[in-house]
Amino acid sequence: MKRKWPVIGVVLIIIIAIIGGYAYHERTVIKNRSLVSQTHTNKHTLSIAQIKQNLTPTLSTTHIDATKSLRSYYKSQLENLTVGTVNGQAIVNPYKTSPLSGLILVKTKTATKVTMQVVGDTKATTITKHYKKYQQNHSVGVLGLYASRTNQVQLTFTTKSGTKTSATYDMTTAAVPADVGTNTLKKSVPSKMALGKGNAKLTFAISSQGITYGLDAQGKVRWYSTKETSHVFKRLKNNRLLIVTKVDDNSHKYNALQVTDFYGHVYKQYDFKGIFPTHSDHTKLAENTVIHHDAIEMPNGDFLLTVDDGSADYVEDTMIQIDRQTGKIKKVIDLKRILPVSSYTKYEGTHRSDDKIDWFHQNSMYYDQKNGELIISGRNQDMIFAINYKTLSLNWILAVNQKLPKKYQKFLLKPTTKNYKFNAGQHAVKLIHTGKINGNQVELEFYDNNVVVTRGNQKASKTYSTGDIVKIDRVNRTVTKTWSYGKSLGKTNFTNIVGSSYAIGNDNTLINFGYADSGKRSEFVEVNRKTNQVVFDVDRTNFSTGDWSYRAQRMTLFP
């Protein structure tokens, strides 16, 4: 009798496993059916509930757990160190994905604060960080190492009484990956560049699909991540980074939204499935990229993402706001519900290999907190427009008055000057000088690719690309161009796709001509807006096909 109980137990376990497996299979079948037989509000738009079902992410802890484990290990190492700077431990790439970062563990006899300095080739490329906290156990973060050399990192320890001692640590790094390409410095005037405190601001080449990296004032790589990214690489208010990367190394699509930092710590990850019906056969499912071009942090800390809605017909025309803590979708903005029906039902401007309709191709957005407006850029409509974020009602449209129904024309901004050059195929919208302009006016910067897709001046199209700034009167609905750079460069720097133009301080703007020479070259140009003098210029070549630089951003390694 005693022998029967183990046998019965095994049988029960097998039965439970079979039932559980069957239940899981049934749930998967039901979910797949709901993806294939999607609920529509009308012929062209999915219901909000269906979009949420298509897109809701799951929270992943795999990389977070790995970060915690490493952090715990280094804490233990520090606790076990012998007091004295000569006993310090220098670690390169401590969190495994940031090869030009480091960590120095050291104990001092008395409480001290630390100044960290990565010795550069020049004064302008020496990176300095002051840590203000007095303590005896030091875990000193190092950023801005050179690749393929033994770096000299100097630590200066200062006691509360002002006594200083110093120590130098060697940190040896490997060569940068070939996928970074060749970065050729054409011009550099460091004294006129916006390099920030301690020369810690680098020019970051944001990857379309590959390796994102940062250059110093001499065009040398001083940071990169082995974690491949796509389009999104943003600094958050807490000085962490928001990136779009792959769920794991074996993934083909970039379907993970991750909160990380320059060292490679992972704090949060939201995984998206991206399993949508195909256009050619709605009964078949295929993996798609969900977050395609942009992601921004909202004032309450939530994330607003540009996404596909999961339909079989349309792409890149939807946004979702997700809860930062849970990943739950709190708001859906489907642009098909805002813009003219004819703009997507009669669109013929571009064609995709999967035959889905990319009628809008949203590539950037900016939330104007002061006015409660969301400013949106759509390449394939040659249009920038603003909506009330709460009500989703239109406020203004910056576009040529072509192919727009009459009821939309009242929202068009009117130029205050003759021969105003309207944007065409533009990217990278952002407000500047937000604290200096009254509520009725805003200053908007963007990159004008100058490629007409739906509306615009066909004669001027594809002859040059520019970084532009315009002043918009929101009440009177007028627009005035106040600055533009790039026309004189002509077709040499025309970019059919991608690009950015951002004010970065010192009255300078950093422009990324990301798809120059038909995608064989990306050029990063820092120009002073008062003099139109170039103070920094780098050509990037010899990179992998498709990995042209989507944006160029001047960002500081240290807060």
Q: Are 16 and 291 in contact (CB under 8 A)?
A: no
State the pLDDT at residue 6. Answer: 62
391/215 Cα distance (integer angstroms): 42
* Residues 330-351: tens digit of each pLDDT: 999 999 999 999 999 999 999 9
Mean pLDDT across the chain, nearest whole number?
Answer: 94
Taken in order of first residue, the domains within the chain and their CATH numbers are 62-172 (2.60.40.3100), 178-556 (2.120.10.30)
Q: Are 57 and 270 in contact (CB under 8 A)?
A: yes
State the pLDDT at residue 30. Answer: 44
Closest-CA residue to 539 (of 518, 553, 520, 556): 520
Q: Are 52 and 321 in contact (CB under 8 A)?
A: no
State the pLDDT at residue 500. Answer: 98
* Residues 180-192: tens digit of each pLDDT: 999 999 999 999 9
Q: Are 191 and 544 in contact (CB under 8 A)?
A: no
- Determine whether 9 is exposed, middle or buried from the number of CB atoms within 10 Å of its CB (0-12, 13-18, 19+): exposed
Confidence class for position 399, pLDDT limits 50, 70, 90 = very high
State the pLDDT at residue 439. Answer: 72
Helix axes 4-36, 48-55, angle to 10 degrees: 130
Confidence class for position 3, pLDDT limits 50, 70, 90 = low
Name the strands in the sheet holding 303-307, side by side, starting at the edge strand that comes first in the sequence: 291-297, 303-307, 318-322, 329-334
Confidence class for position 559, pLDDT limits 50, 70, 90 = confident
Tokens of 141: 């973060």
State the pLDDT at residue 22. Answer: 53
- Determine whether 66 is exposed, middle or buried from the number of CB atoms within 10 Å of its CB (0-12, 13-18, 19+): middle
State the pLDDT at residue 26. Answer: 45
* Residues 33-55: tens digit of each pLDDT: 556 668 888 888 999 999 999 99
Q: Are 383 and 366 in contact (CB under 8 A)?
A: no
- pTM, two decimal places: 0.93
Confidence class for position 438, pLDDT limits 50, 70, 90 = confident
Whether residue 28 is predicted with pLDDT greater than 50 in this model: the reply is no
User: What is the helix, strand, coil percentage profile of the chain, to 5?
Assistant: 20, 40, 40
Whether residue 31 is predicted with pLDDT greater than 70 in this model: the reply is no
* Residues 489-531: tens digit of each pLDDT: 999 999 999 999 999 999 999 999 999 999 999 999 999 999 9
State the pLDDT at residue 29. Answer: 47
State the pLDDT at residue 436. Answer: 82
Neighbours of 337 (CB within 10 A): 16
Q: How many residues does the chain have?
A: 559
* Residues 441-464: tens digit of each pLDDT: 999 999 999 999 999 999 999 999
Tokens of 459: 């004669």
Mean pLDDT (whole number) for 253-263? 98
201/193 Cα distance (integer angstroms): 10
Q: How far is CA 247 from CA 76, 88, 270, 291, in A?
A: 30, 36, 9, 12
Q: What is the DSSP string of 150-195?
A: EEEEEEEEEETT--EEEEEEEEE--PPPGGG-EEEEEEE-GGGS--
Q: Are 224 and 99 in contact (CB under 8 A)?
A: yes
* Residues 54-113: tens digit of each pLDDT: 999 999 999 999 999 999 999 999 999 999 999 999 999 999 999 999 999 999 999 999
Tokens of 416: 């205050």
State the pLDDT at residue 249. Answer: 85
* Residues 145-184: tens digit of each pLDDT: 999 999 999 999 999 999 999 999 999 999 999 999 999 9
Tokens of 65: 């757990």
